[in-house]
Amino acid sequence: QVQLVESGGGLVQAGGSLRISCAASGLINYVVGWFRQAPGKEREFVVDINQYGFSTKEADSVKGRFTISRDNAKNTVFLEMNSLKAEDTAVYFCAARRSWETQYDLWGQGTQVTVSS
């Protein structure tokens, strides 16, 4: 079983930026998605990226502010978050699936991102 590990979360002021990472052995073979869950709310999809670096979906709430990328040589997917807002505060989860036709079946433990205002 592949273990996904998120890192890079922390406290940042509104308007600031933060980059979080998702790493796992063999991640080059997976479609990877970022999800987030705020306190008292359901988990929501943020953005995804395929094995070749192309994204097909992103949440309207983060469009123009968040950028997903990957470094396959490092088996790592990044989420660059800019112009952060208080409502971006959440636990961010990395998930992986073998193709666009399968379910996300691999999940990381999550990394906390807190945006102060």
Q: How would you write the pLDDT of the chain (117 residues) with one tens digit per residue?
A: 789 999 999 999 999 999 999 999 999 999 999 999 999 999 999 999 999 999 989 999 999 999 999 999 999 999 999 999 999 999 999 999 998 899 999 999 999 999 999
pLDDT of residue 88: 98
Distance CA 113, CA 115 (A): 7
Measured CA to CA, the distance from residue 31 to residue 8 in angstroms comes to 20
Give me the residue label for tokens 């989420």: 79
